[in-house]
A = this chain, B = another copy of it.
Amino acid sequence: MILATRKVSGVSSQAPGPRARNRRGQGDRLRADILTAAANILDETGDEQAVTLRAVARRVGIAAPSIYGHFPDRQAILLAIVREAFADLAEQLSQAAAADSGDQVARLYAICDAYLDFASTHPQRYRVMFGGLWSAAEAVRDGALSETEAAELGLDSLRLVADSLDRCVKAGHSASTDVLADAVALWVGLHGLAHQRSLALEFPWPPDIAARLIDALARLRSTVDR
Contacts and interface: CB of A to CB of B under 8 A. Distances in A.
Contacts of A198: 131
B49 A49 contact: yes
Contacts of A188: 189, 192-193, 196, 209, 213
A53 interface: no
Contacts of A142: none
Nearest to A47: B133
Interface in A154-188: 178, 180-182, 184-185, 188
A137 interface: yes
B212 A151 contact: no
A135 B200 contact: yes
Count of chain copies: 2
Contacts of A201: 136-137, 150-151
Contact of A180 (B136, B191, B206): B206
Nearest to A191: B192
B191 A213 contact: no
A225 interface: no
Nearest to A187: B192
Contacts of A180: 206
Contacts of A193: 188, 192
A135 B128 CA distance: 13
Interface in A112-133: 127, 130-133
A219 B199 CA distance: 27
A68 interface: no
In order of increasing CB-CB distance, the 4 nearest A-B pairs are A192-B192, A181-B206, A188-B192, A131-B199
28 contacts: A47-B133, A48-B133, A49-B49, A130-B199, A132-B132, A136-B199, A150-B201, A151-B203, A178-B206, A180-B206, A181-B206, A181-B208, A182-B212, A184-B205, A184-B209, A185-B206, A185-B209, A185-B213, A188-B209, A189-B189, A189-B192, A191-B192, A191-B195, A191-B196, A192-B192, A192-B195, A195-B195, A216-B216
